[in-house]
Amino acid sequence: DVKVTQSSRYLVKRTGEKVFLECVQDMDHENMFWYRQDPGLGLRLIYFSYDVKMKEKGDIPEGYSVSREKKERFSLILESASTNQTSMYLCASSREQGPSEEKLFFGSGTQLSVL
């Protein structure tokens, strides 16, 4: 089974802090994603990466950056945390999308609170 591991289940940070959320997958997947989940808004894509050192903005990239130095690891960085970034953050991975359909595998999530 694919395992997507997020380093923290819960995090509490102060406004203005730099925050790193780490994600590791163990199935050699090409694609990795960061979503945030907020009540009434569903899952919204922040950034995704389709290869090492490659990244693309999702629907809500403002205030975030990402890093993918190794295939198995995808980091989400909040440069200067703000209270509106309090949310559940979900990392996911998938195989390279081709003619066949692929599904996303999610980590357990990191509940981030910015005070």
Applying CB under 8 A, which residues contact other proteins? 4, 9, 31, 33, 35, 40-45, 48, 50, 56, 58, 90, 92, 94, 97, 99, 101, 103-109, 111
Burial of 56 (0-12, 13-18, 19+ CB in 10 A): exposed
Q: Closer to other proteins at the Cβ: 15 or 76? A: 76
Q: Closer to other proteins at the Cβ: 4 or 81? A: 4
43 contacts 25 by C-beta, under 8 angstroms: no
Least distance (Å) between residue 12 CB and other proteins: 15
The residue count of the chain comes to: 115
